[in-house]
Amino acid sequence: MHGIFIYKVLPIDHKLVSISSDDFVRVIDPLSLQWSSTDTLGQLHHGVTCLEPWRDQSVLTAGCDGLVKGTDVRSKRDIFELFQGTGTPLLSLACHGNLIAAGTEFRNSQAIVIVWYSPQENTTIKAWAKDLTRDSRAASQPLLQYVESHSDDVTDLVFHPSQPSRLLSGSTDSLVNLYDTTITDEDDALIQVFNHGSSIAHADFLSDHEVFALSHDEIFSVYDLRDLPQDDASNSAQHFGDLRPQLHCDYVVGLMSSRSKGPLLGAGSYRSLVPYALFTAMLTSVQ
């Protein structure tokens, strides 16, 4: 693995699944952290970018080839394939229940958020930029596409934990958007906008009513979704600023929720260990 970078690792069926810079999707033994040539799902994309858990023991992947693929980890069998008709690279991916969403690179003056119904097995679904339909029986089209809400790469997508029709997006245009995917008109569907002021690396829900944004330069904020007019959405935000000097770290990987300990930040340093106590102290006011 010399010279190969691991992009993401997921726990699936007591194993680990990873994507890496050589475009391979690998199944890793969690105890030995080893794999063999048989422990691979292959090179599923030309430029793999995203990996998400899907139904049962399956995963979703997306790539610079504009494809979303569903693959069974046990049988290593392709389940379905979604094609973003323009071939624009996909940079973000999310799924919840019967919905799959993908976000594109900014190209041809557009950055697109696409939402599909989850397809049946052994199907190829093409997503074209016109003639949209919300009829799940017409599987040749996406459920919807949002083409105007972001003006740069869509770097993160996540569905609301208890309201799966709500979709959160983050972009390098500094915006974090919240959509109601039951609404087809894009202006009406966009129900909340937060301007983080810096390129978004990660955005997610901390709870049903709070979201966080983490920028590529490690600036972290928490925003409240409750009773905020769209034009004033950032007024009640908690701004933590650049986390690197506060956590004595060189980079922030992201944030995850723990049922027992609340929100946990993952950070690292090129020189020393980052003390865990600082994570919990940093987020005390958020919980």
Kindly report, residue by residue over 1-37, the tens digit of the pLDDT.
567 888 999 998 888 999 999 999 998 888 888 877 7
What share of the chain in percent tops pLDDT 70? 81
Tell me which of 283 and 99 has the higher pLDDT: 99
Predicted local distance difference test score (pLDDT) of residue 237: 85
Let me know if 188 is exposed, middle or buried by CB neighbors in 10 A (0-12, 13-18, 19+). Answer: exposed
What share of the chain in percent tops pLDDT 90? 50
pLDDT, tens digit (0-9, with 9 covering 90-100), for 76-133? 888 888 887 778 999 999 999 889 999 999 999 999 999 998 776 555 555 443 333 3
Q: Which residues pair with 83 in a beta bridge?
A: 67, 126
> What is the band of 230 on the pLDDT scale with cuts at 50, 70, 90?
low
Predicted local distance difference test score (pLDDT) of residue 217: 95
Rounded mean pLDDT, 59-79? 91
Q: Which residue has the tokens 């102290």?
A: 281
Rounded distance, CA 208 to CA 157, Å? Answer: 16
Rounded distance, CA 115 to CA 137, Å? Answer: 15
Q: Are the C-beta atoms of residues 156 and 92 closer than 8 Å to each other?
A: yes
Tell me which of 276 and 262 has the higher pLDDT: 262
Tell me which of 120 and 148 has the higher pLDDT: 148
Predicted local distance difference test score (pLDDT) of residue 2: 64
Pick from 86-95, 181-190, 224-233: least confident? 224-233
Predicted local distance difference test score (pLDDT) of residue 42: 82
Predicted local distance difference test score (pLDDT) of residue 275: 54
Predicted local distance difference test score (pLDDT) of residue 254: 84
